[in-house]
Structure 1
Amino acid sequence: MKRIGIMMNASKPHALQVAKELMQLLCAKNAFVLLEQGLASVLGRDDCGIPLKEFPNRVEIVFVLGGDGTLLGVGRELAGAKLPILGINTGNLGFLSEAEPDNLGSAVDRVLNNDFCIEERMMIDAECIRKGEIVHRGTAFNDVGIAKGSFGRIVNCSVSMDGMFLGSYSGDGIIVSTPTGSTAYSLSCGGPIVWPGFQAILLTPICPHTLTSRPMVLPAESELEVRVSAAHHEMGMTIDGQIGFEIHEGDLIRIRRSQNQTYLVKWRERSFFEVVRKKLHGDEKG
C-alpha cells in the first residue's frame, strides 16, 4: 500500500471540496495518508498533519491540489527528494496536472494499483553574481526570467554559452527555460514547444527591439552567462514567475542545469501532444 501525502492550495475556490472527496476515497481504500499541516487543520485531521518538508521521509507519492503555479512551487520545494508528484487540477489551465476533480476515483485506483509512469523533468539553477559574490540564487522548474521593471526603456542582455558569445538582446529581457517551461512564458514570447523528455535549455527574447533576435535551443549541459545593463536601475530576475530578485547594472546571471529534477506522475496512454491539443488548441483533433 502506498504512503500518500496531500497538499492543497487553499486559495483555489473548489480545492477544499476536492480535498474532502479525495480523503474519503483514500480512507475507503484503507490507504495510508498524511496531510500538509495547513490542510490537516482545515479538515480537522491534525492527527495526520506534517510539514511539507517532511514529506520526503514519510510518504512515497504526493497529491497536489491546485493549478500549475501550485505544482511549480511544490516541485521546487521537493527538488532533490525524488518524490513523485500527481497534480490534481483545481486551477485554470492545469497544463502540468494529470488528474481532474471529475476523475478522482480513477486517479486513486490507478495510483494504488501502480498504473502510471513517472516522468523526470529537468530543472535549472540560477545565481546572480555582483562584484564577485553570489547575492541571489534559485532553482527553477519552468524558467528564469531576466527583465526590465515598469520603465518603458529597454534592457540589454549580453549572453555567452560556455565562454562563447551568443549575442546581445535588447528589449524587455530574456527567458531561459526548461523543456517543461517551453509551454509557459517562453511560448507566449514566441518560443518553441519542446517535448518535455528532450534535454535542452531554451533562450527566448522578450519583445526584442530587433528583427534578427530569435529563440534558441541549446545543449542541456551548457552554462549560460548573462550580463545585464540598462539606462535605468529597475531590473529583476524571477524564478518560475513566483520568486523575484532585484538585479543591478553589471550583474552577471549564471544559469546551468540543476542536479535536481521534478518527478511527475503521468498516465501511460496520455501523450504530451494530446495535452498540448487540449490545453493550448481547444482540443483540436489530430
Structure 2
Amino acid sequence: MPVLIVIPARHASTRYPGKPLVGLKGASGQAKTLIERSWLAARAVSGVDRVVVATDDDRIRAAAKGFGAEVVMTSPDCANGTERVAEAAEALGGGFEIVVNLQGDAPLTPAWFVEDLVAGLTADPVAEVATPVLRCDGRGLNALLDDRRAGRVGGTTAVFGRDRHALYFSKEVIPYTGQSFADDTFTPVFHHVGVYAYRPAALAAYPLWEAGPLERLEGLEQLRFLERERPVLCVEVEARGRQFWELNNPEDVPRIESMMAEMGLD
C-alpha cells in the first residue's frame, strides 16, 4: 500500500513568522532547524514510500534541499497545510493509497504515531481521514490550561464518539473537567496530535470546499471535514514514555528543548 508523507511548511506564519527555520537544540546542544527535525521524524516512520517538503518559500526550499529533502513548491495561496498537501500530492501525480500530512511544527512526533495512524485508517472502511490523539496526563493537561490562562493559543484537544469518529476539535481545553490531576495521572482530555492521514479522494476534494464558520473561528483545518460531515477517525496513540508538544509560539522553543534534553533526544 503506497504511502506518501508530505511536510507542509510556510515562512509567513501568523503567530510565529519564520518558524520552520527556527533552531532547536537537542540533548547534546546541537541545533537543527524545526523543518529538519520534522523531516527526520518523517524519515523514521516505517512503511513509507516517499517523504517530501511542500513549501512556497525559497528560504525553506534552500534549507530543506541543504539537508537532503525532496521539495515540492506550492502556491502561496494555500490557506492551510491540508490545502498545501493536496497541491503537492497532485503535483507528484498520485499513485498513493494514503497521504500523510506531518505538519512541520511537530518535531517530537514518534514514528509509531504515524504508523498507528496509517494502520487505523486502513482498518476503518468508513473514515476518510484519520488523526492521532494522545490521552493527557496531569502534566500535559496543566500545560494546556497554563497556555489558555496566559492567553496563548497552544495545543488542540479532541472529543470523539464510541466509534472513535471525531465530534469536535478545539483550541480550548475540552471536555471541561473542573478537577485537578496529579502529573502522572491520566485525564479524560485528549491532546490532538497535528498529523493527518487522508484517502486521496477526500484530500483532493478538500480545497474545493469553502471553509465553514467553525474552521474560521477555531483556525483548525480539520473542522472543514466535520462541517462537511466527512468522518474523521481519532486514533489513540501511546506515549511510551515520550513527551509530546508542538511548536506554536516562541515560548514553546525552550519547552521543547527541555523535553528533548530530558528524553535524551539529539
- Relative contact order, higher structure (CA 8 A, sep 6+): 2
Greater fraction of residues in helix: 2
Structure number with larger C-alpha Rg: 1
TM-score by length of 2: 0.32
